[in-house]
């Protein structure tokens, strides 16, 4: 199908949605508003063709003739029109990709198939491909953002319109069924027109958390499983027989700032951070519970028709012994079906895990439940035992369906769903550390220069047990700052060690700003030295976001990485050094061109500095939504990075309005 035919299809879809909107407006007694909107559209199109004074005057006359109420309604018409236009375009591009996939051969640029084909044609063999795959990390980080104002009701309405329009516009319905679908489409557009898009109240921190979680059961759980299947299929399509030895690792991870970003937001408290992690855990445990139930319905093999692995039989016996009489009634219907028997016990344990999280959210002080799953590793082990047993008696194809998808989800999401980054401005840490040194040593930290501060911080971090002081002597702000680190330590014990990502320090101007955070972590048991061995359970990501900070990045990082104590803690964490670059603030600070050049040079310098010291590094890109704030298509953004700076791993922020456009429809979420 050529480009002109594609263009005709898109125009036909736009005309269909526009006609449906006009019918809705007329049916609702809004003919005058519809006529004004149509006049404005035609006059503006004329202005684009001929930008003369007469055309501009004609357009202005229509605008001047409208009162405030009419203007508001006309704006609402255009708002709905452009939402429908976006749906038509999204559906159109989805179907373009589907047609390319149906034809086979070279898929669209940036697809798995296209990328792997280019790699193979460049001489990358199966062994080299495995090395590349093993190094991969792709981490979108969800952030709350006030520019996303759509209510969940509106998002649901737009999703319904997308599904119906897609079926109507691309020939999948004929005759009566097409007529029925168009009628349904008109009802959906009518509901969209009569639903207020703006919330009646402002969003609180809990609402922002809920908004971020909304997309996972809506699209992302299914999209994640489909994405891995697409990659595995592309590997086998491109590499053929060589692909049998290639293993695709679970390289996708999600991060979040929602509930952890307290820079300038007093509403994000330690309690908010704990709530965010518990709601995340609740969301993923609910998904696991549903999928375990689905598997229980599927894996109906009976004894005598399958040869169970020894590990499976041993595990089932151990489960029955550990769970005791509590499961006798549950397992009774499945005593002749070993996999269902195992899965009903797994479901029981998962229900208890979910119950504990729900009680903690409700405010109960609920201790760990010995009968529940205490970690994602326990669940993953049980699933892998089932997988190996199925494959051992010829049911590899069965294992490769829903069970394989669930294993992928557990590998990707654990029990925490997203790794929560904590962010705070460097001045808060500086003030807290000065307060602690005053209380502990009667020392004026603020009067020290950078060299003296680094020396003092290094000695204090290395001191066994940290600094001793009377907590009551600290200011309320210092106590609040320490409570954040105490919450991090507590939630790591409750949810798991992977529940936090990095501690992001905004406005990092000097190396001591990073060392100050580590001292605060030491005071709360997250880092330090015990028995002569260093340990560190917090990773630091300094954020460079102004033009001056980008220009100073080499000095700050060189000084930091040459601190012996910092190098010890970095090594003890087992993590890469992460450095975050701010696109939005640098654009506002120096303009798009100066910011782009500053960011480009900063990335090169960061990788050079860490490379000289043998330190692995990952860049964290603080992208905005629009191109002017560092946004734009992700694939092109990755390709635009300086050579040898991505190295198979990329982490980037996705703001509120971006989340809607990428993840409100599962079909688009797979592509993204």
Tokens at 498, concatenated: 């992977």
Could you give the count of Cα atoms lying within 13 Å of 453 in the half-sphere of its Cβ? 21
Catalytic residue among 170, 236, 537, 588: 588
Looking at 471-545, which runs of residues are DSSP E strands? Answer: 500-506, 527-530, 533-536, 539-544
And the tokens for 284? 């993923």
Compute CA 626 distance to the chain's CA centroid, rounded to the nearest angstrom: 18
- Parallel/antiparallel/unpaired status of strands 539-544 and 533-536: unpaired
Residue with tokens 């190295």: 647
- Residue from 145, 155, 416, 502 carrying the catalytic annotation: 145
Distances 409 to 404, 406, 668 between C-alpha atoms, Å: 9, 5, 19
Q: What distance in Å separates the CA atoms of residue 605 and residue 514, rounded to the nearest whole number?
A: 19
Mark whether 150 is an active-site residue: no
CA-CA distances (angstroms) from residue 646 to 136, 368, 606?
10, 41, 12
Three-state DSSP state, 151: coil
CA atoms of 545 and 260, how far apart (whole Å): 19
Q: Are 370 and 347 in contact (CB under 8 A)?
A: no
Rg of the Cα atoms in the chain: 28
Closest CA to 551 of 516, 515, 589, 505: 589
Phi, psi torsion values for 207, nearest 5 degrees: -65, -40
Burial pattern 589-612, b for ≥16 Cβ within 10 A else e, equals bbeeeebbebbeebbebbbebbee
The kind and range of the H/E element at 404 are: helix 404-413
DSSP 252: B
Q: Exposed, middle or buried: residue 536 (CB in 10 Å: 0-12, 13-18, 19+)?
A: buried
For residue 537, indicate whether it is catalytic: no
φ, ψ of residue 122 in degrees (nearest 5): -85, 0
Q: Which of 184, 18, 167, 10 is nearest to 90 (CA)?
A: 10
Question: What is the spatial distance between Cα 113 and Cα 20, in angstroms, rounded to a whole number?
Answer: 38
The residues carrying an active-site annotation are 145, 588
């Amino acid at each position: 199908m050529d480009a002109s035919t594609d263009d005709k299809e898109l125009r036909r879809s736009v005309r269909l949605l526009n006609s449906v909107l006009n019918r809705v407006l007329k049916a609702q007694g809004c003919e005058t508003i519809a006529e004004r909107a149509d006049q404005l559209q035609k006059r503006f199109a004329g202005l684009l063709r001929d930008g003369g004074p007469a055309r501009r005057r004609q357009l202005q006359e229509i605008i001047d003739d409208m009162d405030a109420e009419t203007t508001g309604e006309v704006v609402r018409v255009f708002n709905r029109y452009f939402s429908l236009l976006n749906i038509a375009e999204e559906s159109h591009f989805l179907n373009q990709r589907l047609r390319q996939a149906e034809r086979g051969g070279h898929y669209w640029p940036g697809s798995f198939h296209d990328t792997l084909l280019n790699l193979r044609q460049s001489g990358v063999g199966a062994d080299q491909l495995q090395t590349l795959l093993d190094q991969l990390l792709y981490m979108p980080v969800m952030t709350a953002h006030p520019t996303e104002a759509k209510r969940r009701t509106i998002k649901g309405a737009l999703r319904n319109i997308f599904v119906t329009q897609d079926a109507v516009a691309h020939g999948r319905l004929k005759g009566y069924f097409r007529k029925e679908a168009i009628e349904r489409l008109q009802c959906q557009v009518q509901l969209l027109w009569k639903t207020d898009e703006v919330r009646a109240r402002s969003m609180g921190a809990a609402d922002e958390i809920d908004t971020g979680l909304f997309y996972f059961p809506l699209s992302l759980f299914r999209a994640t499983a489909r994405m891995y299947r697409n990659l595995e299929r592309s590997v086998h399509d491109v590499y053929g027989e060589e692909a049998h030895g290639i293993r695709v690792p679970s390289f996708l991870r999600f991060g979040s700032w929602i509930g952890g970003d307290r820079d300038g937001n007093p509403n994000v408290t330690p309690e908010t951070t704990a709530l965010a992690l518990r709601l995340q855990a609740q969301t993923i445990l609910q998904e696991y519970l549903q999928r375990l139930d689905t598997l229980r319905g599927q894996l109906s093999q009976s004894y005598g028709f399958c040869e169970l692995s020894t590990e499976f039989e041993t595990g089932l016996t151990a489960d029955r012994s550990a769970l005791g009489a509590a499961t006798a009634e549950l397992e009774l219907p499945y005593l002749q079906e070993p996999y269902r028997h195992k899965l009903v016990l797994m479901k029981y344990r998962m229900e208890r895990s979910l119950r504990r999280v729900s009680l903690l959210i409700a405010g109960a002080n609920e201790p760990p439940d010995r009968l529940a799953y205490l970690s994602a590793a326990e669940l993953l082990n049980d699933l892998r035992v089932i997988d190996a047993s199925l494959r051992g008696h010829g049911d590899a194809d069965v294992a490769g369906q829903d069970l394989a998808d669930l294993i992928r989800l557990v590998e990707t999401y654990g029990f925490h769903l997203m790794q929560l980054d904590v962010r705070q401005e460097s001045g808060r840490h500086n003030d807290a550390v000065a307060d602690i040194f005053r209380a502990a040593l009667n020392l004026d930290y603020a009067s020290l220069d950078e060299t003296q501060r680094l020396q003092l911080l290094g000695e204090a971090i290395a001191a066994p047990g940290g600094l001793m002081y009377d907590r009551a002597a600290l200011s309320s702000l210092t106590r609040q700052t320490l409570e954040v680190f105490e919450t991090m330590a507590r939630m790591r014990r409750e949810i798991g060690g992977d529940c936090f990502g990095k501690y992001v320090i905004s406005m990092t101007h000097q190396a001591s700003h990073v060392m100050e955070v580590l001292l605060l972590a030491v005071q709360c048991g997250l880092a330090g030295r015990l028995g002569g061995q260093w340990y560190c359970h917090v990773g630091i990501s300094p954020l460079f976001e102004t033009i001056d900070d980008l220009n100073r990045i080499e000095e700050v990082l060189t000084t930091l990485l040459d601190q012996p104590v910092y190098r010890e803690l970095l090594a003890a964490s087992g993590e890469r050094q992460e450095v975050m670059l701010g696109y939005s603030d640098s654009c506002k600070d120096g303009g798009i061109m100066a910011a782009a050049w500053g960011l480009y040079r900063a990335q090169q310098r960061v990788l050079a500095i860490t490379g000289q010291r043998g330190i692995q590094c990952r860049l964290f890109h603080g992208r905005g939504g629009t191109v002017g704030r560092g946004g734009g298509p992700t694939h092109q953004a990755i390709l635009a990075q300086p050579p040898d700076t991505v190295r198979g791993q990329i982490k980037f922020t996705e703001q509120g309005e971006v989340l809607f456009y990428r993840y409100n429809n599962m079909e688009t979420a797979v592509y993204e």
